[in-house]
Amino acid sequence: MELTRSLIETKAAEYRAQEPLYPVEREQIETLPTALERGAYGRRDCEWIVRWYYRRTLGAVPDDERRPAEERFERNAFETVRSAIDDVLERLDSERDDVATVVDRLTALEGVGVEVASAFCFFLDPDRYIVVGEREWRVLREAGELDAPYPDSEPSVDAYETYLERCRDVCDRFECDMWTLYRALWRCWKEQFEKA
């Protein structure tokens, strides 16, 4: 498979038309970054991000794996979560693209690994960050954008940085944003691998 601007636009449009979570995701992409930046968010907004990461696969992540991860996050004191988000926003506002520091700050929270941290980054700054998961990674690898397979366990910060760099390159090359690329990768995975 080869990624092209046309393919990305087509698959992103398919996502919009066919994926059941699209309306909720669109609303969150449009409102949550501003709410987080202004501090106008609550515990449930943060819990939504964690839940979204696991539930976006519509059952592919078994409940006995998903629920404990969500419950671990819920054990964080809200002030601890707010402090981590504030620290990350300060980094993002400073225009320093220190991915490792941003991800490390988020993974210091209970129940947040690199994958969930990438979801937080996606909703904090969807212009510069994108969520990482096996599906998106696999499509990029199939398209020749990544060399290594998705890690057997959670990706490292270095692996996420490599993935993010490739995604940014693709967005620059095909003049699209991260939200469009995410939707396109998701639909490409469904077409190529869901029934395999």
The per-residue pLDDT for 160 is 96
Structure confidence by residue, pLDDT tens digits, 111-157: 999 999 999 999 999 999 999 999 999 999 999 999 999 998 889 99
**Mean pLDDT on 6-12:** 97
Is there a contact between 185 and 164 (Cβ–Cβ < 8 Å)?
Answer: no
- pLDDT score of 61 more than 80: no
Structure confidence by residue, pLDDT tens digits, 71-109: 999 999 999 999 999 999 988 876 566 899 999 999 999
The per-residue pLDDT for 57 is 80
| More confident of the two residues 55 and 141 | 141
- Which stretch of DSSP H or E encloses residue 185? helix 178-193
As a whole number of Å, the end-to-end CA separation of the chain is: 15
107-130 burial, b for 16+ CB within 10 Å, e for fewer?
A: bebebbbbbbbbbbbbbbbbebbb
The per-residue pLDDT for 55 is 87
- pLDDT score of 195 more than 70: no
